[in-house]
């Protein structure tokens, strides 16, 4: 808990010599957490935290320097003055190109969520019940479950008239569905961060994962080489598109580490669906949604990939200025345009549908996509069987040319877009 008021902090900063601009970021977190082992309560946690970060900007020698530090709750005015002086000295050693801060924007918003009207302990208990009751099999169990119900308050104030506050709620779940066979036991690892409590969705989702873990128990390593399109689900798509959009960030361009420029084709010779990707501030159901970024810059959505070609960049107020672009703010939500193929049609053709990977490796610079497959469903045109013990790899650039996007959509974390995407040319071994 801060002992100094915001006004008091601002006063100390203003009285420090040499500060051209400043930004104060306050993060407040109230969290209630439950941890279960085999359905029994193991740990109850509460977290009450307030953190303040101060950034000072110093104009000198035609350049701008900045430095930041945390203000701990116990800090005295004298200690703050000392930290400020050190930050100013550090900023004087930094010779970055000049830039301005966002200005004259104020807002106080609460991102809508049914969690705001629930007692955290009730929301946590209901979420836990939904997960634990999803299992109806004697040979299955939720071996471990963690539930986090959190209220986040972010408040940003700067010297140019920005004063923005945002309140968000989130529900995070980590569940380990497990299936116990006669000689073997297998599990899946599932993690979700949700913007709402939707017990029916949770039950349905966990039930589906329990069916998957039952499949994992009987999954076998294929006896013959598999050669067919690979279908990615939302977990993998999140990884894939996070990598792709990072290349369009103004900061990446300013550091000269981008692969694509505006007008370049991400899909060089598309034989399938073309990609359309937008960055957005708010997506319903996405816990990443936000009204402003870490600079307090209001967010403006932008389409960054159109028909497979890079259409625009996006990014912070500072790096937009450096590049002579219109700032969008650091947009948090990735929105990928859906296709026209229904999932049932996608699944009707031979395919390998990934359910659980060690972790999808996507490397734009090495032109690589791949990973170890822990559970997938292989459909050879007649039979759908669970498989395990194989890996896949391929050239990312070639895979992007072969996409089939599902008509149905999904939201997962910062990703919203086709629920499934099929790609071809992967080496499964």
Partner 1 sequence: MHQDLSTFLAERREDCRELVKELKKSFSYVSVLGVDAECTNIRVTSRTSSVSDGATADCGFAVRLYDGGAFYEYSLDDVKGDKKELAARITAALQVDASIKDTVDTRPLADEPLEKTFVRESDFDKYSDAQLLDFCKVTKQALCAKSDNIANAVVQLRKQRIRKLFVSSNRVLEQAYTWVNGVMLIGYREGDKLITAREGACSHLLGYVMATLPSKIDKLVDKAAHLVHAKPIVPGEYDVITDPSVTGLLAHEAFGHGVEMDMFVKDRALAKHCMGQQVASEICNMHDGAAATLSVASYFFDDDGVLASDTHIIRDGILVNGISDLESASELGTAPTGNGRRESHKRKAYTRMTNTFFERGKDKLEDMIASIKHGYMIFETNNGMEDPKSWQVQCVAEYGREIVDGKLTDNYVAPVVMSGYVPDVLKSISMISSDFEVEGAGMCGKGHKEWVCVSDGGPALKLKVRLG
Is 186 a binder of partner 1 (CB under 8 A)? yes
Is 167 a binder of partner 1 (CB under 8 A)? no
Which residue in 185, 243, 303, 397 binds partner 1 (CB under 8 A)?
A: 185
Do residues 266 and 244 make contact, with C-beta atoms less than 8 angstroms apart?
Answer: yes
Residues in 26-55 that interact with partner 1 by CB under 8 A: 29, 31-35, 37-50, 53, 55
**Residue given tokens 């308050």 in the structure block:** 153
> d(Cα 28, Cα 154) in Å, to the nearest integer?
7
> d(Cα 226, Cα 393) in Å, to the nearest integer?
13
Instruction: Encode 145-180 in three state secondary structure.
Output: EEEEEEEEEEEEEECCCCEEEEEEEEEEEEEEEEEE
Which residue in 189, 208, 218, 261 binds partner 1 (CB under 8 A)?
A: 189
What minimum distance in Å lies between the beta carbon of 96 and partner 1? 5
| Torsion sign across C-alpha atoms 265, 314, 407, 236 | positive
Note the Cα 245 to chain centre separation in Å. 12
Do residues 60 and 175 make contact, with C-beta atoms less than 8 angstroms apart?
Answer: no
> d(Cα 401, Cα 424) in Å, to the nearest integer?
9
Which is closer to partner 1, CB of 8 or CB of 389?
389
Residues in 77-116 that interact with partner 1 by CB under 8 A: 86-87, 89-91, 93-97
Is 250 a binder of partner 1 (CB under 8 A)? no
Do residues 316 and 300 make contact, with C-beta atoms less than 8 angstroms apart?
Answer: no
The contact mask relative to partner 1 for 316-355 (x = CB under 8 A, - = no) is ----------------------------------------
The contact mask relative to partner 1 for 261-290 (x = CB under 8 A, - = no) is ------------------------------
What minimum distance in Å lies between the beta carbon of 40 and partner 1? 4
Which range of residues in 68-76, 105-113, 272-280, 343-351 is near partner 1 by CB under 8 A?
Answer: 68-76
What minimum distance in Å lies between the beta carbon of 132 and partner 1? 10
Find, among 194, 193, 233, 187, the residue nearest to 210 by Cα. 187
What minimum distance in Å lies between the beta carbon of 137 and partner 1? 16
What are the distances in angstroms from CA 347 to CA 213, 252, 363, 425? Answer: 20, 37, 27, 17
Which residue in 23, 280, 374, 420 binds partner 1 (CB under 8 A)?
A: 374
Which is closer to partner 1, CB of 106 or CB of 257?
257
């Amino acid at each position: 808990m801060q002992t100094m008021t915001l006004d008091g902090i601002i006063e100390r900063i203003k009285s420090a010599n040499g500060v051209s601009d400043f930004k104060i970021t306050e993060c407040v977190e109230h969290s209630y957490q439950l941890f279960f082992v085999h359905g029994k309560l193991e740990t109850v946690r509460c977290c009450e935290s307030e953190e303040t970060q101060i950034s000072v900007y110093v104009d000198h020698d035609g350049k701008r320097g900045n430095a930041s530090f945390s203000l701990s709750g116990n800090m005295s005015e004298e200690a703050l003055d000392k930290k400020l002086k050190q930050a100013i000295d550090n900023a004087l050693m930094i010779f970055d190109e000049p830039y301005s801060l966002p200005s004259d924007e104020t807002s106080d918003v609460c991102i809508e969520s049914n969690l705001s009207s629930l007692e955290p302990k009730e929301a946590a208990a209901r979420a836990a019940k939904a997960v634990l009751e999803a299992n109806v099999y004697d040979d299955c169990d939720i071996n471990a479950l963690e539930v986090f119900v959190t209220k986040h308050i972010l408040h940003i104030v700067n010297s140019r008239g920005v004063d923005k506050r945002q309140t968000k709620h989130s529900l995070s779940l980590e569940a380990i569905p497990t299936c116990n066979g006669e000689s073997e036991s297998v599990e899946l690892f599932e993690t979700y961060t949700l913007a709402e409590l939707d017990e029916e969705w949770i039950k349905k989702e966990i039930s589906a994962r329990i069916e998957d873990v039952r499949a994992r128990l009987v999954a076998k390593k294929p006896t013959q080489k598999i050669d067919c399109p690979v279908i990615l689900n939302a977990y993998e798509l999140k990884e894939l598109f996070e990598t792709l959009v990072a290349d369009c960030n103004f900061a990446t361009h300013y550091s000269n580490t981008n692969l694509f420029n505006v007008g370049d084709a991400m899909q060089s010779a598309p034989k399938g669906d073309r990609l359309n990707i937008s960055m957005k501030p708010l997506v319903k159901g996405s816990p990443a949604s936000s009204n402003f970024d870490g600079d307090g810059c209001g967010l403006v959505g932008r389409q960054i990939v159109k028909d497979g070609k890079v259409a625009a960049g996006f990014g912070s107020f500072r790096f937009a200025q450096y590049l002579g672009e219109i700032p969008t703010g650091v947009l948090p939500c990735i929105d990928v345009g859906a296709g026209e193929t229904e999932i049932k049609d996608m699944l009707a053709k031979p395919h390998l549908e990934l359910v659980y990977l060690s972790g999808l490796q996507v490397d734009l610079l090495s032109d690589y996509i791949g990973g170890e497959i822990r559970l997938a469903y292989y459909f050879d045109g007649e039979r759908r069987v669970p498989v395990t013990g194989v890996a896949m790899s391929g050239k990312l650039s070639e895979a992007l040319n072969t996409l089939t996007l599902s008509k149905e959509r999904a939201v997962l974390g910062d990703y919203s877009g086709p629920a499934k995407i099929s790609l071809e040319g992967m080496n499964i071994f």
